[in-house]
A = this chain, B = another copy of it.
Amino acid sequence: MFHLTARDIRRRNRFSVLQAVYAAEGHISRQEIATATGLSFATVGNMITELIDVGVLAEQGHDASSGGRPRAQLVVNPGRGLLVGVDIAETAVDVELFDLSMTVLRSAHLPVDPSATKPHDLADLIAHGVAEVVGADVERVLGVGVSVPGLVEPEGGVSVFSPYWSWRDVPFRTMLSERVPHRLFLDNPLKASTVAELWFGAGRDVDDLIVVTLRAGVGVGIVVDGSLYRGVSNSAGEWGHTTLILDGRLCRCGRRGCVEAYVGAPGIVETLREIAPDSPLLKADDADTIAALATAASDGGKAVADVIDRTGRYLGVSIATLINLFNPRTIVFGNLVATHLGERLLQTARRVAAEQAFSDPFNRVTLRLSALTDNPVTLGAATFALEGFLADRETFGSVGARRAAKTAAP
């Protein structure tokens, strides 16, 4: 049976407190953190003492504006350490270096050579990119988060299945750890995007959230009670390969009628090709075609309107399934397709989902585009490393446990 240990609860509270400080985007008092998190003032005080002790938070001046006793203001200490986020996509690897305030300091964009897509090729490329952005700051890196496409076992670090390059059961963590001299945290892009929203996006405001990733691959991350839901082997959220149309279009996974075959970037391109086989918008690269569709959409060409309308309908029906099954507070859409076509697709998808889903859960849910700028996958990957650092027993074990024990009685 399930139960939380005292350590789990402390780590969870530590996350909540730090999330509140990030959300304040400036400074925030202990009292405001208690209000934002629902935690007791004593618990918040403990967590903050611990986070100051290890250098993650700093006190910065006092706010006496309220007229009462001046309250110490807390900020994240950006210089406490560095985090790296890696996004392995089909055509390129993106690597970003963040300070602890999650500001991007340096980036590298490394195209994937289509003739060099064996696991060791990618591991070499990543090692190269990480070394490039870290430079001379090797000692200051707290961890490196890596988003690996497909199904990933974070504990074993095995890429169970990667759809782009037919990887199967690849011990990718081991391969990376031989090349990258930092602590490694592996998971997939769905989980990365979701963790990014949880810490820095829509998850700030709601505890029951679905994060929809729409790029070449599509899928969801499920947030239950403020935590990422992983399922028994970390593959929960593989919405992209659920059936939208029985016996429908062939999907690159080999099955037929998958959601991804209609609302992923290649699926949208295929719909355009069906409607207008000679369209000048059809480019060699799917991402360019999606961008061209977005530009053309404002001119109102019939074929483009048809593509967006059909795709919006596919999306609406698929989203209705998520609304009925999960009854979430918010569904947030992000990544390539959402960036280019998001608001246009959502207009149709909202109307179709309103018809297809039950009215009660539909009326409870907000469908909106991600407010995260830049790449949510690199940000989320770096957040894996942040979470790993915050869960580190060596750093937090002694200080935290000693102080917390004094006041932990509920």
- A: which residues have CB within 8 A of B? 1-6, 9, 12-13, 16, 19-20, 36-39, 151, 160-161, 207-208, 220, 222, 224-227, 229-239, 241-246, 248, 255, 317, 320-321, 324-329, 355-361, 364-365, 405, 408-410
Contacts and interface: CB of A to CB of B under 8 A. Distances in A.
A327 B410 contact: no
A153 to B, nearest CB: 9
Contacts of A241: 324, 357-358
Contact of A1 (B226, B232, B356, B364): B226
How many identical subunits does the complex contain? 2
A395 to B, nearest CB: 20
Contacts of A358: 151, 161, 235, 238, 241
B239 A355 contact: no
Nearest to A43: B3
Contacts of A37: 1, 3
A207 B9 contact: no
Contacts of A237: 325, 327
Indicate the member of A2, A6, A220, A245 with the most B CB atoms within 10 Å: A2
A325 B361 contact: no
8 contacts: A1-B226, A220-B325, A236-B325, A236-B361, A242-B321, A242-B324, A243-B244, A244-B246
Nearest to A6: B410
